[in-house]
């Protein structure tokens, strides 16, 4: 399974998506900071599962219909930062899609996540990440999960890795930095957390017009049989 995650920087990089999907042929595409009111239903061979609706610059998940069947997509609110409350509210910081993998005969949940901005504390972002994992477990209990996106977590990733392991998840960083706009906040902002999957690689792709670089996550299902289709919800 190949999943691309891309923060479009207030939708500026939306014109790159067709070329990006044609070159790397992902099975799933997860977006952050997208103008969800203007997103197309199709991007190349990718079909829109759904997008958030309560914040204009929001999240979206696309998938290949020749590989997956969408069962359910749901957006979630997470604890708000002071920035969200006073400036530009972001009501929904997570959207997850439960998919049947027709090729593998498995079910899986893939999600796009956007943590609170750098004005918030890491403790709030850790709370959001933990809450996001809890919500995804409700969407797809005991299924493999992959949550990708902009975690806005430039430092102290060992602490974050320890926390997600407590809830059964693994944290995966890409092979090079994904954010270089500010001198003091360079690093791996775009991450993946997963359970029930073996992450074979996370690659940082070429820079576009966004201040974030897209990442390509390649994953295989773990050896256990959890995730076998159970029927529509």
Give me the residue spans of the domains in the chain: 2-221
DSSP 45: T
Q: Is the dihedral of CA 150, 151, 157, 158 positive or negative?
A: negative
Which of 45-49, 116-120, 141-145, 206-210 is the least confident region? 116-120
* Confidence at 156, pLDDT banded by 50, 70, 90: low
Angle at 150 (CA atoms; ends 135, 159), nearest 5 degrees: 75
Encode pLDDT of 18-66 as tens digits.
Answer: 999 999 999 999 999 999 999 999 999 999 999 999 887 899 999 999 9
CA distances from 218 to 3, 145, 197 (A): 6, 13, 10
Identify the CATH homologous superfamily for domain 2-221: Endonuclease/exonuclease/phosphatase (3.60.10.10)
* Alpha carbon distance 222, 12 (integer Å): 36
Q: How confident is the model at residue 225, as a pLDDT? A: 55
- Percent of the chain at pLDDT exceeding 70: 85
Widest CA span in the chain: 49
N-to-C CA span, the chain: 23
231, pLDDT greater than 50: no
208, pLDDT greater than 80: yes
**101 near 107, Cβ under 8 Å?**
yes
């Amino acid at each position: 399974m190949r999943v691309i995650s891309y923060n479009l920087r207030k939708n500026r990089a939306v014109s790159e998506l067709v070329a990006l999907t044609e070159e790397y042929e992902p099975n799933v595409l997860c977006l952050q900071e997208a103008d969800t009111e203007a997103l197309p239903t199709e991007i190349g061979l990718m079909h829109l599962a759904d997008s958030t609706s309560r914040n204009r610059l929001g999240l979206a998940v696309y998938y290949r219909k020749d590989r997956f069947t969408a069962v359910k997509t749901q957006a979630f609110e997470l604890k708000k930062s002071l920035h969200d409350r006073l400036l530009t509210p972001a009501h929904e910081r997570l959207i997850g899609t439960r998919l049947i993998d027709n090729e593998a005969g498995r079910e899986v949940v893939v999600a796009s996540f956007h943590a609170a901005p750098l004005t918030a504390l890491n403790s709030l972002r850790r709370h959001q990440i933990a809450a996001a994992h809890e919500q995804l477990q409700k969407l797809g209990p005991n299924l493999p999960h992959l949550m990708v996106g902009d975690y806005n977590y430039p430092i102290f990733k060992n602490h974050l890795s320890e926390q997600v392991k407590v809830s059964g998840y693994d944290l995966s960083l890409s092979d090079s930095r994904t954010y270089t706009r500010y001198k003091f906040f360079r690093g791996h902002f775009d991450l993946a957390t997963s359970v029930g999957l073996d992450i074979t690689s996370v690659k940082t792709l070429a820079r576009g017009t966004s201040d974030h670089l897209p990442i390509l996550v390649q994953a295989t299902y773990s050896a256990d049989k959890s995730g076998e289709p159970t029927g529509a919800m």
